[in-house]
Structure 1
Amino acid sequence: MAHPRIFRLIFWLGLMGVVLPAALQPQESPFIPEKLARVMNNEISGDKAYNYVRLLTPYHRIMGSRAFVEAADMLAGLARSFGLVNVRVVKQKYEGGISWDPVSAELWLVEPDEIKLADFEDVAVSLAVWSRSAHVTAELVDIGPASAPGDFAGSDVAGKVVLTTAPPSLAIKNAVWERGALGVVSSATIHPASRFDAPDQVGYIKVPASRPEGKAAPWAFMISARQNGELQDILRKAKSEGRSVKVKADIETKIHEPAEQAYLWGELPGSEIHDQDIVLTAHLDEEKTSANDNGSGCADILEIGRAIQALVRAGRIPQPKRDIVFWWPNEHWSEYQYFRENPDETKTMLANINLDMVGARQSLGSRVQHIIRTPYSIPSYLSDVIESIAEYVILSNTGFLAAEEAGTPQPFSKPILSFLGSRERFNALIIPFSDGSDHDVFCERMIGIPGVALINSPDPYFHTSDDDLPNIDPTQLKRNAFIAAAAALFVANAGDDDVPLLANEVYSRALQRLGRDLNTALAHIHGKRAGDSALSYFEARNLVEQALAREVEALESILIFAKPGGASASLVKQRARRIEGLAPGLVAELDAAYLSLSGEKRPPAPAPTPEEKEMAARVPVNIDSLDEYFRRRGLGTAWPGLHPIMARECFGFVDGRRSFLDIYRAVHAEALSAGEFYYGKVTMEAVKGLLEDALGKDVLKLK
């Protein structure tokens, strides 16, 4: 029988999935009043942002390169002219690669005909990043995928250049370093379908930054799938005629030691608070052109800075209370290095909003803008702020027939459009945490700054020669800048008076999320998805219990804005206790589902296994030094049998209170909540193995 209290909540709040769909909710957000929305819509310019992208595209701004610094200097000049202060380009130690500058590179077919195959000046990505200088004329041989010894059967590649569909790093290992080939010509790409959909696309890929002692300096040219096919035809014809095919490669590059990277930094100072910065990030590194990834993000945060400063100077909005920082890093590496060198700075940053690939013309490549929430290891009000504002933009820039019949202006009720942009709808989704950009760093447990992100996916153009201005839409640049700017301004100004509004929003959205998790838990029991009824029940119950803890923590994150001991703080704590009070009713729903399915008289009682008891007795803590932590652990967290984000979350849940078993349960619930399709499966064995490995590396220690 359903618990009466939870039944009432389900009825009134629609926790069983009968919540009002977003399209039927008012097209507004409490975090951006309509007057402010109009002011920002009029000031933020997608056309200006597009022009900043245009200025960036000529720079082959590879991490650690001189061109990166030149691009940063160019943006720094614009930032200063717009009124940002403390604008500076800062050089750092770089452990993620080498400081490499391409000078020139050409690849020619010289026999049986003379045909230019690649030229760095024409297509910058045709020279694989970190390729070393080389001047060779040699026979070309086709080794196909170059992934197995059989690919080399009957082929003597020593002293020759190999043609392959494999990534250059694999071909260099198998053909150059193991079999004596001179270099590589590759048609590899991270977009396998491009050989059909975009056969002239050239991939942007690296060769190894270092080489084993005594091995040849690596180099590779990148060509399109069409060129690969044409060269294969030439090779087949030459073979039938008993002739060889030769290519000539001329490459000039420079390597600078020690390796350095750089970042660009600027600020809009707050009027009151200077130790709770709101940090907008957009990584500056990428290949020449690279308009969406991430010229778009770089341009958008610059435009946000310009627009906010212009509105403040014009008296249209007050100066934000907190400092807003604009940070253009070398993706991931700059932030990790910065925090390793300045660990106390983690205490001066309140929130991160990351923009990466925010200018896609969405009708090209079926691209969708993802609004990414914080991971479950760092629940935060910030996720609901960005979600609410994003929903406002999505719904007011999507057409509805019923709205037209109601007399609401259509196709968009509150259009956010650029003069030279498209009139496409805003195709965006709010999604659970996803990695792959700079917000990852902020969300590390050792750094502990909630970070959200705007990133489009899928994208069949990024990291290729096709990521260029024709694929950029000034309208989408404007919409994403609007979302990020609105969120940044709200958080920058939030205080005790805003706490009730935040508490209402986080609380009501928490109830919706709990409803979805309850739905998942009930389906887990009904489908016996853990293999048997009892285990399915325990996993479902764990999901609900972890979800309750997550939502309590999200509510308590609001207390940063509340006066200690005040009425607003009391309201937040009251709402958190209400969430906790839902536990008996939610568990009763699971009990009822289990009993109905199994025919038993009572739910199964927990009976910890010896392994669970052992894991429950071990409580890991992080070592004290942030620098040593990342030096020993590394920046990646991959572990066999775990989705990389779930491996990261194993570290994320290490807080000195949770045991090995608690961490396993937290990560398992997070994966179950999002779905196996999203985060894969989480096993106790994999989590235990990862944590024990971290203990062995002195990344963690036992309490």
Structure 2
Amino acid sequence: MRRLTLLLLMIGTVAWTQTPGPSPTGRSGSRATASPGPASALLGILRDETHPDQAMRDVVAIWETDRWFTFPKFEETAKNVAAMMRRAGLEEVEIGTPPADGVTQGGFWTMPLAWDVKAGTLEIVEPQVPADSRMLADYQKIPTSIGMWSGPTPIGGVVTDVVLASSDLQNVKGKLVLGQGASKSALAKAGALGVISETTENRDLVDERGWVNSFGDNGWSFTKGSAPLVCFSITPRGSQRVRELLKKGPVKVRANVDSRYYAGVYPYVTGVIRGTDGSNAEEVLSLGHLFEQGAHDNATGVASIIGAAETLNRLIKGGRLPRPKRTIRVLGMGECYGTMYYLEHNKDRVKRTIAAMCIDSPAGLQNLAGTEYTWILNPHSATSYVDAFALRLAEEYYPSVGRPWGWMAHRSSTDNYLGDPSIGIPTVMPHGGYGVPAHHNSYDTPATVDPKSLRDLIVMNAAYTYFLASAGVAERRWMADVALTRGYSQMAAASGKLLDQIALAQNAESLGRLFYQIRERLDYALDRESQAVRSAWDLKEGLADLAAFSQQQKMRLERAVRDRAAALGIDSIQPLAPPRNREAEQIVVRRKRMGTITLDDLPREQRESFPAASFWGVPVSALYWCDGKRNLAEVIRLTELEMGPQSFDFVGYFKFLEKHGYVEFTRN
């Protein structure tokens, strides 16, 4: 506490003005900014002292090597990022060397096989077309012309036919298949030379091309044994040109790819602002992935994290901020695969890490719509005070720079999954927008990055990590109260949703189900919000008051059910519970490794139509609730309270996982 008190005395209290801003539920609206609090002074100094020019230069430097997306270039990026960290004043900078051998696993994520490419061109040779329309793809001019992990052609290239994708694979041998149709494995078995991708998330960018970075037979990355098909990516204009030619007759192209696969490394880079508690101090982690082709995805994330550390170091060394007692760690790595490997091989650090922020986000031009930041919270199985704390910082900071903001419930398609109870690091993440949608697209360049958006990422990351790293008893108690305040709003929101449903109910059966859900949903909300509070501080009296509020809401909702029943002419309503799942009641699932289950070591034809649940969704929510103690029926109940009613075959899915050795069962 003494350190933050000193900070307040040193820089004074920042008073914020009233500014239009969004509702913290993500809806637009106008409200007063937050009143000054324990984080106000810190936010004020960071807002005034953050200068994003260096971060912009770092974005360009990271992009200049990563845009080639080869593993030798990734090693160059790692060395450059290590130098950036040292320049930023980080200590103990290290480059880790996880294997890129296509076999080793981190959790159930199989590390990719290293890949390099020197050249790749695709040129129309028949029929004759104007010279400026002949070249469809050239890696040396536009790197995304080649799909990541494309196999090689014969030396010097090959002339072959282009055929349209279809379910009929009898005519693909030795040819390039345009568009989406059969699976990659099926094309390989049929003898296709490769594919020409025309996939893009924004077809309005007619002269840009989508980046193909998912080219494994069994999942995202290319692992040992995946088929080495050739892969090109062409623009929407190029796709239209080829399709029009195919309507008139055969199309021949000259394809040349000089690529190779090999066992290499998939590096990570880490460094710290060492806390005063020493080498065994607790840690606060900032992480962002490297090694993708775009400036926004994700040079901006790593550059902003380094920028936050550099700003904090400058202020600490200049005497403007006290050194925090906990260590602040920065990590740049390969997305998901590199993270899982790092977590598994640094378990002592993981145990000491109290919170994290992942930044995998565009930093779009603020004059364009859709570039505001939305804060993504933890899954319900990992509800934490850091959710409310991050929103409290957002509520105070964004109006001060005239920016809207929002929040959303957990979702994960990147490295913000560390709240997974098998890992245990509560993690929040800001996500912005491109303005012009350019995810995994050659249009994603530094020219579309806004320094002001980088500034906002830097300030929020620096405030979050520094406050948590410095927090003493008083600050933790305050953050518990912030979580308690959010608990009331979440409880009220749950009640409001039920009231809406009650008002729409038309019969005794629907009212009976709602009557049952009243206690289910409010008890669940109370349990989750209480966990968030206790994760910071055990506010016994405050939590007792929250429980009393929950009870009041139950009584209010039960009155609403009775009133609605009377209006419908129904004499009485009894709670209608769902049928018991007796088979699920007999199963307890024990997880064998941390993280999600990608199935990337299991051929697709052996998956029995069950999903490869790498990222957030119903199967992952259920997996997170499996703690080795709850039976599967309870896991299903909690999953549906988090995700809503489901038709998913939970018992079948977990039996499938158990059969293939991904989880273990104990039976009640």
Query: Counterparts of 1:343 and 1:226 in 2: how far apart (Å)?
Result: 49
1:180-195 pair list within 5 angstroms = 180-189=191-200, 191=201, 194-195=202-203
Partner of 1:96: 111
Is residue 659 of structure 1 aligned with residue 631 of structure 2?
Answer: yes
Pick one of 100, 118, 121 that aligns with 2:140.
121
Partner of 2:301: 297
Paired amino acid for 1:33:
S
Paired amino acid for 1:686:
D
Query: Counterparts of 2:198 and 2:597 in 1: how far apart (Å)?
Result: 35
Is residue 582 of structure 1 aligned with residue 582 of structure 2?
Answer: no
Answer with 74-83 or 293-302: which moved more. 74-83
The CA RMSD over aligned residues, in Å, is 3.2
Partner of 1:411: none
Is residue 670 of structure 1 aligned with residue 642 of structure 2?
Answer: yes
Distance 1:524 1:616, change over 3 A: farther
Distance 1:324 1:688, change over 3 A: same
Partner of 1:486: 463
Per the alignment, in what secondary structure is the counterpart of residue 321 of structure 1?
coil
Is residue 497 of structure 1 aligned with residue 474 of structure 2?
Answer: yes
Per the alignment, in what secondary structure is the counterpart of residue 467 of structure 2?
helix
Paired amino acid for 1:478:
R
- CA drift of 1:214 comes to 11
Partner of 2:622: 650
**Structure 2 gap ranges (5+):** 1-23, 101-109
- CA drift of 1:478 comes to 0.3
Partner of 1:423: none
Per the alignment, in what secondary structure is the counterpart of residue 513 of structure 1?
helix
Is residue 140 of structure 1 aligned with residue 140 of structure 2?
Answer: no
Contact 2:379 2:409 in 1 (8 A): yes
Paired amino acid for 2:244:
D
Query: Counterparts of 2:454 and 2:198 in 1: how far apart (Å)?
Result: 31
- CA drift of 1:552 comes to 0.7
Partner of 1:409: none
Contact 1:118 1:223 in 2 (8 A): yes
What is the number of equivalent residue pairs in this alignment? 612
Pick one of 212, 224, 245 that aligns with 1:234.
245
Q: Deviations over 1:458-503 (max 9, x none)?
A: 7720201011112110001101211111111111111112133123
- CA drift of 1:592 comes to 1.1
Pick one of 574, 579, 585 that aligns with 1:604.
574
Partner of 2:268: 263
Pick one of 110, 115, 127 that aligns with 1:112.
127
Per the alignment, in what secondary structure is the counterpart of residue 550 of structure 1?
helix
Paired amino acid for 1:393:
Y
Query: Counterparts of 1:39 and 1:226 in 2: how far apart (Å)?
Result: 49
Pick one of 432, 435, 438 that aligns with 1:456.
432
- CA drift of 1:111 comes to 2.8
Query: Counterparts of 2:519 and 2:591 in 1: how far apart (Å)?
Result: 29
Partner of 2:285: 279
1:375-524 pair list within 5 angstroms = 375-398=379-402, 426-440=403-417, 442-457=418-433, 460-524=437-501
Query: Counterparts of 1:358 and 1:178 in 2: how far apart (Å)?
Result: 39
Contact 1:31 1:389 in 2 (8 A): no
Paired amino acid for 2:619:
A
Query: Counterparts of 2:33 and 2:195 in 1: how far apart (Å)?
Result: 57
Partner of 1:317: 321
Query: Counterparts of 1:494 and 1:478 in 2: how far apart (Å)?
Result: 24
Answer with 309-318 or 351-360: which moved more. 351-360
- CA drift of 1:632 comes to 8.5
Contact 1:109 1:247 in 2 (8 A): yes
Pick one of 180, 193, 205 that aligns with 1:198.
205
Paired amino acid for 1:116:
M
- CA drift of 1:127 comes to 0.4
Percent of residue pairs bearing the same amino acid type: 23
- CA drift of 1:453 comes to 0.5
Partner of 1:592: 559
Is residue 543 of structure 1 aligned with residue 518 of structure 2?
Answer: no
Distance 1:276 1:631, change over 3 A: farther
Paired amino acid for 2:321:
I
Contact 1:275 1:347 in 2 (8 A): no
Q: Deviations over 1:184-234 (max 9, x none)?
A: 222112x1xx22x21112010136346999997311111101011122233
Distance 1:397 1:686, change over 3 A: farther
Query: Counterparts of 1:654 and 1:350 in 2: how far apart (Å)?
Result: 22
Q: Deviations over 1:426-475 (max 9, x none)?
A: 242111111111111x1222111101111225772020101111211000
Q: Deviations over 1:502-557 (max 9, x none)?
A: 23211111101111111112223333499722123323432211111101111110
Partner of 1:369: 373
Partner of 1:686: 649
Per the alignment, in what secondary structure is the counterpart of residue 140 of structure 2?
coil
Distance 1:245 1:267, change over 3 A: same
Paired amino acid for 2:392:
S
Q: Deviations over 1:141-170 (max 9, x none)?
A: 341xx2533xx6xx83333333x2328xx5
Paired amino acid for 1:446:
S
Contact 1:137 1:246 in 2 (8 A): no
Is residue 329 of structure 1 aligned with residue 333 of structure 2?
Answer: yes
Distance 1:690 1:585, change over 3 A: farther
Partner of 2:234: 223
Contact 2:511 2:573 in 1 (8 A): no
Distance 1:306 1:263, change over 3 A: same
Distance 1:21 1:171, change over 3 A: closer
Partner of 2:215: 208
Contact 2:379 2:420 in 1 (8 A): no
Paired amino acid for 1:449:
I
Paired amino acid for 2:618:
M
Contact 1:64 1:261 in 2 (8 A): no
Query: Counterparts of 1:578 and 1:24 in 2: how far apart (Å)?
Result: 27
Query: Counterparts of 1:382 and 1:251 in 2: how far apart (Å)?
Result: 48
Contact 1:641 1:686 in 2 (8 A): no
Per the alignment, in what secondary structure is the counterpart of residue 359 of structure 1?
coil
Q: Deviations over 1:298-338 (max 9, x none)?
A: 10001011101000000000001100000001111112112
Query: Counterparts of 2:97 and 2:312 in 1: how far apart (Å)?
Result: 28
Query: Counterparts of 2:309 and 2:126 in 1: how far apart (Å)?
Result: 55
Contact 1:207 1:219 in 2 (8 A): no
Distance 1:527 1:664, change over 3 A: farther
Distance 1:213 1:313, change over 3 A: closer
Paired amino acid for 2:630:
R
Paired amino acid for 2:649:
A
Paired amino acid for 1:140:
D
Distance 1:472 1:127, change over 3 A: same
Partner of 1:13: none
Partner of 2:530: 552
Query: Counterparts of 1:92 and 1:371 in 2: how far apart (Å)?
Result: 30
Distance 1:552 1:79, change over 3 A: same
- CA drift of 1:124 comes to 0.4
Contact 1:31 1:487 in 2 (8 A): no
Distance 1:380 1:255, change over 3 A: same
Q: Deviations over 1:44-96 (max 9, x none)?
A: 22222111101112113677711111111111112112210111111113423
After TM superposition, the score normalised by the length of structure 2 is: 0.84
Contact 1:443 1:451 in 2 (8 A): yes
- CA drift of 1:618 comes to 4.2
Answer with 110-119 or 97-106: which moved more. 110-119
